[in-house]
C-alpha cells in the first residue's frame, strides 16, 4: 500500500460520514425547534443539545479537512488540533458533570463511561493525526475509529435527549 496519502481510498468513506453528519446537524435543528420550550427550560437538555451540535460540527470539519487535497503532514496537524480541542472540551465536561456539578450530571444522564468513550475517541484522533504527520497510512485507520466512535456517541446522546423530552411531555400531559 505504500506511504502515500491515497485519498481516493478514503474518499467514499468520508463522503458518507460527512454526509451523515450534515444530515444529523439538520435533524438536530429540526428536533430542537420542535421541542424548543422543553430544551430551553431544562438546563440538562440545553447543554446536551449544544454539545451534540458542537460534536457534529467538529466531525463535519474533520471530514472536510480529510477530503481536502493537502500534504499528509498538514492533515495530521489539523486532525491533532481538532482532537485536542475536543479533548479539552470532553475533559472539562467530565470535570463539570462528574465532580463539580454531579447533581446536574445525574439528572442529565451523564455517565463517566460515556465521558471515557469521548476521551478515548479524542486520543485515537490525536494518535491518528500523529501517525499522519509521520507519513503513516495507519493514522487514517485510527482517525476513522475516532470519528465513528464519536458519531455513535453523539447518536446515543441524541437518543437520550429525545427520550428525556418525551418523558417530560408525557408528564406535562398527565398533569
Condensed to tens digits (0 to 9), the pLDDT of residues 68-97 reads: 999 989 999 999 999 999 999 889 887 877
Q: Are 79 and 143 in contact (CB under 8 A)?
A: yes
Task: State the number of CA atoms in the 13 A half-sphere of 98 facing the CB.
Answer: 13
**What's the whole-number mean pLDDT along residues 147-173?**
81
Any idea which residue has 482517525 for its cell?
143
% of residues, the chain, pLDDT over 70? 87
Statement: residue 106 has pLDDT above 60: no
**What's the whole-number mean pLDDT along residues 29-34?**
84
Q: Which distant-in-sequence residues (6+ apart) come within 8 Å of 72 by Cβ?
A: 5, 132, 133, 135, 139
* Residue with the larger pLDDT of the pair 29 and 148: 148
Three cell numbers written together for 126: 490525536
Three cell numbers written together for 71: 500534504
Amino acid at each position: 500500500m505504500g506511504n502515500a496519502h491515497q485519498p481516493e481510498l478514503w474518499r467514499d468513506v468520508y463522503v458518507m460520514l460527512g454526509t451523515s453528519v450534515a444530515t444529523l446537524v439538520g435533524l438536530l435543528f429540526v428536533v430542537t425547534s420542535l421541542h424548543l420550550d422543553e430544551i430551553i427550560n431544562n438546563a440538562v437538555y440545553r447543554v446536551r443539545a449544544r454539545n451534540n451540535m458542537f460534536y457534529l460540527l467538529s466531525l463535519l470539519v474533520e471530514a472536510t479537512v480529510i477530503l481536502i487535497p493537502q500534504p499528509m503532514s498538514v492533515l495530521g496537524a489539523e486532525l491533532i488540533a481538532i482532537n485536542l480541542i475536543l479533548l479539552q472540551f470532553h475533559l472539562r465536561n467530565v470535570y463539570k458533570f462528574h465532580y463539580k456539578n454531579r447533581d446536574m450530571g445525574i439528572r442529565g444522564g451523564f455517565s463517566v463511561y460515556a465521558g471515557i468513550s469521548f476521551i478515548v475517541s479524542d486520543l485515537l484522533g490525536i494518535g491518528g493525526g500523529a501517525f499522519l504527520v509521520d507519513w503513516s497510512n495507519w493514522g487514517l485507520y485510527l482517525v476513522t475509529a475516532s470519528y465513528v466512535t464519536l458519531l455513535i456517541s453523539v447518536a446515543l446522546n441524541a437518543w437520550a435527549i429525545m427520550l428525556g423530552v418525551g418523558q417530560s411531555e408525557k408528564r406535562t400531559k398527565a398533569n
